A and B are shown apart, each in its own frame.
Chain A
Amino acid sequence: MSALEIREATKRFGDVAAVDGVSLEVEPGAFCVLLGPSGCGKSTLLRLIAGLETPTGGRIAIGGRDVTGLEPKERDIAMVFQIYAHYPHLSVFDNMAFPLRVRRIGEPEVRQRVEEAAELLQLSELLKRRPRELSGGQRQRVAIGRAIVRRPKLFLFDEPLSNLDAKLRHQMRAELARLHRHLNATSIYVTHDQVEAMTLSTRIALMNAGRFEQVGSPQEMYDRPATRFAAAFVGSPAMNLIEGRVEGRTFEGAGLRLDVEVQTSGAATLGVRPEDLELVEQGPWSGKVDLVEYLGAETLIHVRCGDLVLVVRTPQASDVEQGRNISFRPRRVHLFDPSGRRIG
Chain B
Amino acid sequence: MVQSMDIRRRILEITSIASAIIIWEIIARIINKKYILPSFTEVVTAFLELVSGGELYRDILTSLNFFAIGMGVAIAVGIPLGIMMGWFKTIDKAVDPIIEMIRPIPPLAWIPFAILWFGLTQYAAGFVIFVGAVFPILVNTYTGFRNTPRVLVESGKVLGCIKNRDLIFRIALPAALPSIATGVRVGMGVGWMCVVAAEMFGVSTYGIGWKIWHWNDLHHMDMVLTYMLVLGLIALVIDRLFRYIVQEWWLKWQTGVVV
Q: Are both chains from one complex?
A: no
B interface, CB within 8 angstroms of A: none
A interface, CB within 8 angstroms of B: none
